Amino acid sequence: MVVSVDGSWKVPCGYFFVNGLSGEERANLVKVCIQRLTDTGIKVISLTCDGPSCHFSMLSSLGACLDPSKMIPYFPHPQNKNEKIWVLLDVCHMLKLVRNTLAEKAIILDKDNGKILWQYLVDLHKLQNDEGLRLGNKLKKAHIQWQQQKMKVNIVQQP
């Protein structure tokens, strides 16, 4: 999908009926798409994607790296190596991935190996319900029992 930064239009740029593509194959399709868009006068400044590992492999094939220890959040334009195309991760999708991981695994570790437990949210919700008041958050049953509404971004980003 191509989306204008300074206009109010968006248009699909390709759709492929395939069972799966490698990261390198995806990178080749992205390069062709960028080249054709450039040929029509469109300036491509960024590429946004969600979180499957094949997308990270694609970004690596393009020349970007999102590993925090060696971050390169862009790749060279296929037709002009002096131009950078910036890589953006879809924030809504990333929030859902973190929520799903925390809820399903019950624990994740922060950068200092501190534990973040899903149970903390469950316990806070129970406490607020039992006491009949909220502690300045919007934590509701839908946040704890999210499986039926897992595509709703507002359920992920609220508390």
User: So where are the chain's domains?
Assistant: 2-89, 93-155
Question: For residue 135, is pLDDT > 90?
Answer: no
Tally of CB atoms within 10 A around 130: 8
Provide φ and ψ at 72, rounded to 5°: -135, 90
pLDDT tier at 128, thresholds 50, 70, 90: very high
Compute the C-alpha angle 103/114/59, nearest 5°.
Answer: 65
pLDDT for res 155: 81
In this prediction the pTM is: 0.80
CA distance 39 to 156: 40
